[in-house]
Amino acid sequence: MFRVVSQLRPGALFFVNTDDPVIALTIDDGPQLETTEAILTLLERHRVKATFFVLSDALPSHKAILQDLVASGHELGHHMTADESSLRLSPEDFEAKFLQAHQSLSYYDNNIIWFRPGMGLYNNHMINVTKNQGYQLVLGSLFPYDTHITSLSFAEWFVLNNLDPGDILVLHDGPKSRGERTIQLLDRLLPKIKQKGYRVLTLTELKAYDKGYVATPKDHGIGLGNNTLGIYPAR
């Protein structure tokens, strides 16, 4: 399914084309005082690095967590200013908030290349704005509906039974116990993913496995009308 979508509507990255047993772990909607630090501790224990798509409005009160995240070798991604639908913003508001978040994130890392729109919906205008700023719009191919279904058993079953090389796994930090569930889920999932022979990487690490991909010193603009496209269906 994602191969067809990526051909019909190029511009968004859903997965990486590889036969190697590697996937990327991405976590949206941080930082959160109660859970982000615990997620970092858990990932360190499992020796896994991830890409965190953070909300820039939360950064000023979580500077230490963000600095710890970057210093630990994890990767930052751009997820706008707040947890809201990017698609519902006017083109002017989208661009203004995108640039506002970009400026805030630059304090922590000047080389962020990944952007994920709020609520996982995008259009051509978003692709053009983000590409012009040196970003690649990325969605995902493995989403256990953790924003809607609270069952850890379902999420574990879904991920393990839909796992494919090159997948981009989408989980959530944030309010409504999402961060707590992600901590519990990852503690159950990561050993079983590794037992299947997979390595769990950041997005940039995963992208290096893409067939035909050639890395550059500063890997911006990976280059992959106004119709709307959504995110995260099961492959």
Among the listed residues 62, 22, 68, the one whose alpha carbon sits nearest the alpha carbon of residue 41: 68
pLDDT in tens, 120-138: 999 999 999 999 999 999 9
Q: 171 pairs with which residues across the strands?
A: 27
Residue in this structure with the two tokens 């805030």, named with its chain if needed: 104
pLDDT for the residue numbered 19: 97
CATH 3.40.30.10 for domain 2-207, yes or no, is no
Whether the Cβ atoms of residue 177 and residue 150 lie closer than 8 Å to each other: yes
Residues of the chain with pLDDT under 70: 1-10, 212-235
pLDDT for the residue numbered 174: 87
Return the H-helix or E-strand segment holding 131: helix 124-132
203 DSSP assignment: H
Helix, coil or strand: residue 201? strand
pLDDT in tens, 77-111: 999 999 999 999 999 999 999 999 999 999 999 99
pTM of the model: 0.89
pLDDT for the residue numbered 214: 47
